[in-house]
Amino acid sequence: MSTPASLADLAALPATAMPEAVAIPPVRRPLHGTVRPPGSKSLTNRALLLAALADGTSILRGALADADDARVMVRALRQLGADIRLRGGVAGDGDSVDAAGNAEITVRGVGGRWRLRPGEIVSLDLHNAGTATRFLAAAALLAPPESGGVRIDGNARMRQRPIGELAEALRAIGAEVQFEAAEGYPPMLVRARTRYAGEVSFGRTSSSQFVSALMLAAPFMPDGLTVRQPGPVTSASYIRMTAGLMAQLGLTATGDAASGMHWDATSMRGFTYNVEADASGASYFLAAGALCGGEVVIRGVPAQGSLQGDTAFAQVIARFGGTVQGDQTHMVVRSDGQLGRGGRPGVDVDMSLIPDTAMTAAALAMFASGPTRLGGLRTLRVKETDRVAALQNELGKLGARTIVQADFGPDGPDESLLILPPPHRWMDGSASTVQLETYDDHRMAMSLALMGLARAGVIIRDPGCVRKTYSTFWRDLAALIETG
């Protein structure tokens, strides 16, 4: 490998022109600065889908735009007939976005029915965008029955990520689903019908997105839909996010998950919506403040009243000795920096409601003075990579012992990861250089980079993979370190 780039070098580069590796500089003083993450991917993609299905024009402000997952979703919705434009031009590689990678997006919707010609099959290449894949597989129910259907496909990793549970739900209400390679995995062809059964029931799922997908389609179905979850609910915080956003936009359900959430068939008007900054992206900077000490302000992520479940990562920060406060506009983390010096004990915490922040918590655990157990990790196996296995590999390179344990979480049998951190001499200036792989997984890259702030010699491979959701991450991290 050639000499890794410095973090300062990366700050001036677009995510599409990243070098093969970056060296993370240790921080020797408390951090003091402000960060605004890009718009929430979860809220942006939900709002984009609803706007594309609405009747009339919608405006999304502060929406994530300069990220692979958002571009994939925009391109797919345009293929299905929605007219989507960003400030400064039509959605595409030349879109005009602000410094944080956000945009004002104008969407002219299709009025509840995708615009496919008779016999036409639309093929959607969704790369490794799990949210877009699951949401659009269910939204394929809204194609004209006389069309040939919607083909859902992605890259090699997406073809390894199971979608059979959602396919069975689609079949149960009357859709035709055909897997074109391996049963239960993309590519899959979904053919719509004139009418559907009025109720669908989910057991325990491997992803909450299967449930959210049908919730988002429900109001646009010919007779509405009741979505029932009588048993354990996977990642319930994301189900609440979906229901909360829909309610804010006027799509209110009756009932509850156990008895059945019912949406009447409706014609949704266009809307204006302000997208919160991404709480998952904020977790890395909350963790940086906890590790290094000082005061870091996160703009755009509400500490109170957010639809995003990942704001609960503030509770994990508190367990590691930091404090997080704020209001409806921001969060602020304060810490004495003892964690980064090995001065805080390990924790035992359930991550099942905030699984996307589990890798961030694992990075913090490496600096604790004793073991940490992270529970509720079973959904990490089917993310952009097998994140449990990836954590074991990379933390092991730094001297940690990790043990996967059978667990029983709030929604049934689960997995936990016990992290036994290395001796604290691993953090001194004589520490050996270690190259950490990122597995083409944006969250692995951003989480592992945190350890370089308090341990010398950390090199992150393939830093460009952050473009999936947070193209400006390295610039924001470099700016925080510089101002700190």
**DSSP bridge partners of 324:** 333
Q: Is this structure's pTM higher than 0.75?
A: yes
Q: Which pLDDT does position 410 carry in this prediction? A: 73
Q: Which pLDDT does position 88 carry in this prediction? A: 42
Closest CA to 442 of 410, 474, 414, 464: 464
Burial class (CB in 10 A: 0-12, 13-18, 19+), 293: buried
Domain end: 237, 259, 274, which one?
274
Question: Tokens representing 66?
Answer: 């300069």
Domain end: 274, 289, 311, which one?
274
Q: Which pLDDT does position 484 carry in this prediction? A: 58
CATH number at residue 474: 3.65.10.10
Question: Tokens representing 115?
Answer: 């615009």
Answer yes or no: is 241 within a domain: yes
The reply to whether 130 and 259 lie within a common domain is yes
The reply to whether 107 and 164 lie within a common domain is yes
The reply to whether 12 and 71 lie within a common domain is no
Q: Which pLDDT does position 270 carry in this prediction? A: 97
Q: Which pLDDT does position 400 carry in this prediction? A: 96
Question: Tokens representing 259?
Answer: 């008895």
Answer yes or no: is 281 within a domain: no
188-191 sheet: strands from edge to edge: 121-125, 149-153, 188-191, 176-179
The reply to whether 14 and 53 lie within a common domain is no
Q: What is the pLDDT along the chain (484 residues), one digit of tens a residue?
A: 678 999 998 888 887 889 999 999 999 899 999 999 999 999 999 999 999 999 999 999 999 998 999 999 999 999 999 999 998 433 444 455 565 667 899 999 999 999 999 999 999 999 999 999 999 999 999 999 999 999 999 999 999 999 999 999 999 999 999 999 999 999 999 999 999 999 999 988 999 999 999 999 999 999 999 999 987 888 999 999 999 999 999 999 999 877 899 999 998 999 999 999 999 999 999 999 999 999 999 999 999 999 999 999 999 999 999 999 999 999 999 999 999 888 899 999 999 999 999 999 999 999 999 999 999 999 999 999 999 999 999 999 999 999 999 988 777 789 999 999 998 655 555 578 999 999 999 999 999 999 999 999 999 999 999 999 999 999 999 999 987 5
The reply to whether 15 and 64 lie within a common domain is no
The reply to whether 81 and 226 lie within a common domain is yes
The reply to whether 78 and 22 lie within a common domain is no
Cβ–Cβ < 8 Å for 388, 404: yes
Angle, nearest 10°, between helix axes 442-451 and 473-483? 20
Question: Which residue range(s) make up the domain with 377?
Answer: 5-30+339-483
- Encode the chain in three state secondary structure: CCCCEEHHHHHCCCHHHCCCEEECCCCCCCEEEEECCCECHHHHHHHHHHHHHCECEEEEEEEECCCHHHHHHHHHHHHCCCEEEECCEECCCCCCCCCCCEEEEEEECCCCCCCCCCCCEEEEECCCCHHHHHHHHHHHHHCCCCCCEEEEECCCCHHHCCCHHHHHHHHHCCCEEEECCCCCCCCEEEECCCCCCCEEECCCCCCCHHHHHHHHHHHHCCCCEEEECCCCCCCHHHHHHHHHHHHHCCCCCECCCCCCEEECCCCCECCEEECCECHHHHHHHHHHHHHHCEEEEEECCCCCCCCCHHHHHHHHHHHCCCEEEECCCEEEEEECCCHHHCCCCCCEEECCCCHHHHHHHHHHHCCCCCCEEEECCHHHHHCCCCHHHHHHHHHHHCCCEEEEEEEEECCEEEEEEEEECCCHHHHCCCCCCEEECCCCCHHHHHHHHHHCCCCCCEEEECHHHHHHCCCCHHHHHHHHHHHC
Burial class (CB in 10 A: 0-12, 13-18, 19+), 34: middle
Answer yes or no: is 180 within a domain: yes
Q: Which pLDDT does position 1 carry in this prediction? A: 63
Closest CA to 249 of 307, 170, 166: 307
Answer yes or no: is 307 within a domain: no
The reply to whether 77 and 222 lie within a common domain is yes
Q: Which pLDDT does position 417 carry in this prediction? A: 98
Domain end: 274, 299, 323, which one?
274
Answer yes or no: is 327 within a domain: no
The reply to whether 90 and 18 lie within a common domain is no
Provide the 10 A C-beta neighbour count for residue 430. Answer: 8
The reply to whether 23 and 88 lie within a common domain is no
Catalytic residue among 356, 414, 462, 476, which? 356
The reply to whether 398 and 445 lie within a common domain is yes
Is 356 an active-site residue? yes
Answer yes or no: is 167 within a domain: yes
The reply to whether 26 and 98 lie within a common domain is no
Number of domains in the chain: 2
Q: Which pLDDT does position 333 carry in this prediction? A: 98
Answer yes or no: is 239 within a domain: yes
Q: How far apart are CA 277 and CA 329, in angstroms?
A: 10
Answer yes or no: is 320 within a domain: no
